[in-house]
Amino acid sequence: MKNRACREPERYKIAIYNKHITLANDSAIAVWILF
């Protein structure tokens, strides 16, 4: 139970991290297209 509680925020952090990476990739692609 305690282990699972510890793992939950970690997964949340990873999800946010992945979202940031995709955002960065999208803006990089946009920059490539524009310039």
Number of domains in the chain: 1
The model's confidence at residue 1, banded by pLDDT at 50, 70 and 90, is low
pTM here? 0.44
Q: Given CA atoms 21, 24, 25, 26 in this order, what sign does their dihedral have?
A: positive
Averaged pLDDT for residues 2-23: 76
Residue 35 has pLDDT above 80, yes or no: no
Q: Which residues of 8-18 are buried (b: 16+ CB within 10 A; e: fewer)?
A: eeeeeeeeeee
Residues 35, 18: Cα–Cα separation, whole Å: 26
* Residue 8 to residue 18: CA distance in whole angstroms: 16
Provide the residue range defining the domain that includes 15. Answer: 1-35
% residues pLDDT > 70 (the chain): 77
